[in-house]
Structure 1
Amino acid sequence: MSQDRKPAQEYVVIRHRPGYRFRRTAILLVFSIVAAIAGYAAGLAQGGFRFSSVEASNDVLEEELDKLRDSYTEARQQVINLDRGRAIDEQALNQARKTIVELETRIASLKSDLTFYKNIMAPSETSKGLQVDSFSLAPDRQPGAFDFKLVLTQVGNNKSYIAGVVAVNVIGLRDEEKEVIALRDLSQDIEDLGVKFRFRYFQDVEGLLVLPDDFEPLEIQVVAQAEGRKSSQAERTFDWDDLTEN
Structure 2
Amino acid sequence: MADPQHRVVVTTDRPARRRAFYAAVVALSLLGAFGLYRYSRASAVSDFEAATGERDRLIDERRQLTRELRVAKAEADSLRNQVAYLSRSQQIDDNACVAVKQSLSRLQAESADLREQLAFYRGIVSPQESQAGVRVYEFRITALKTTRNAYRYDLVLIQPVRSEKRVGGQAQVVIEGLRNRQKQRLKLSDVAMNGDGNLLFSFKYFEEFSGELRLPADFRPLRILVSVQPSGDGRPGLEDEYEWAKILQETDEP
Q: Fold-level match, TM-score > 0.5?
A: yes
Question: Following TM superposition, by how much is the alpha carbon of 1:71 offset from its aligned partner in structure 2, in angstroms?
Answer: 1.7
Question: Which residue of the other structure, out of 160, 181, 189, is the alignment partner of 2:194?
Answer: 189
User: Which whole-Å deviations, capped at 9, do the CAs of 1:68-102 have from their partners, x for residues lacking one?
Assistant: 11221331232133223312321221121021011
Question: What are the residue-to-residue correspondences of 1:25-40 with 2, within 5 Å?
Answer: none
> 2: CA distance between counterparts of 1:147 and 1:123?
33
Relative to the length of structure 2, the TM-score reads 0.72
Question: Following TM superposition, by how much is the alpha carbon of 1:124 offset from its aligned partner in structure 2, in angstroms?
Answer: 1.8
Q: Give the structure 2 partner of residue 12 of structure 1.
A: none
Question: Following TM superposition, by how much is the alpha carbon of 1:188 offset from its aligned partner in structure 2, in angstroms?
Answer: 3.0
User: Which whole-Å deviations, capped at 9, do the CAs of 1:136-181 have from their partners, x for residues lacking one?
Assistant: 1111121111111011111253311111011111110000110000
User: Which whole-Å deviations, capped at 9, do the CAs of 1:38-90 have from their partners, x for residues lacking one?
Assistant: 9xx97xx69xx675354234213212212211221331232133223312321
> 1: CA distance between counterparts of 2:195 and 2:140?
16
**Conservation of the 8 A alpha-carbon contact between 2:193 and 2:212:** yes
**Conservation of the 8 A alpha-carbon contact between 2:193 and 2:214:** no
Other structure's SS at 1:137 match? strand
Question: Which residue of the other structure, out of 112, 118, 123, is the alignment partner of 1:119?
Answer: 123
> 2: CA distance between counterparts of 1:229 and 1:126?
16
> 1: CA distance between counterparts of 2:217 and 2:130?
41
Question: Which residue of the other structure, out of 143, 159, 164, is the alignment partner of 1:159?
Answer: 164
Structure 2 unaligned segments of length 5 or more: list them.
1-41
> 2: CA distance between counterparts of 1:67 and 1:97?
44
Report the RMSD for the aligned CA atoms in angstroms. 2.7
After the TM superposition, which of the residue ranges 154-163 and 196-205 deviates more from structure 2? 154-163
Question: Following TM superposition, by how much is the alpha carbon of 1:233 offset from its aligned partner in structure 2, in angstroms?
Answer: 1.1
Question: What are the residue-to-residue correspondences of 1:210-229 with 2, within 5 Å?
Answer: 210-229=214-233
Question: What are the residue-to-residue correspondences of 1:92-241 with 2, within 5 Å?
Answer: 92-124=96-128, 128-140=132-144, 141-191=146-196, 194-229=198-233, 231-241=235-245
Q: Give the structure 1 partner of residue 246 of structure 2.
A: 242
> 1: CA distance between counterparts of 2:110 and 2:62?
71
In the alignment of these two chains, the number of paired residues is: 205
Counterpart code for 2:223: E
What fraction of aligned residue pairs are identical, expressed as a percent?
Answer: 27
> 2: CA distance between counterparts of 1:82 and 1:125?
61
> 2: CA distance between counterparts of 1:214 and 1:241?
17
Counterpart code for 2:153: F
> 1: CA distance between counterparts of 2:114 and 2:234?
30
Question: Which residue of the other structure, out of 73, 76, 79, is the alignment partner of 1:69?
Answer: 73
> 1: CA distance between counterparts of 2:164 and 2:174?
31
User: Which whole-Å deviations, capped at 9, do the CAs of 1:6-27 have from their partners, x for residues lacking one?
Assistant: xxxxxxxxxxxxxxxxxxxxxx
> 2: CA distance between counterparts of 1:143 and 1:81?
53
Change over 3 Å in CA distance of 1:127–1:144 after alignment to 2: farther
**Conservation of the 8 A alpha-carbon contact between 2:125 and 2:160:** yes
Question: Following TM superposition, by how much is the alpha carbon of 1:230 offset from its aligned partner in structure 2, in angstroms?
Answer: 6.2
Counterpart code for 2:102: K
Relative to the length of structure 1, the TM-score reads 0.74
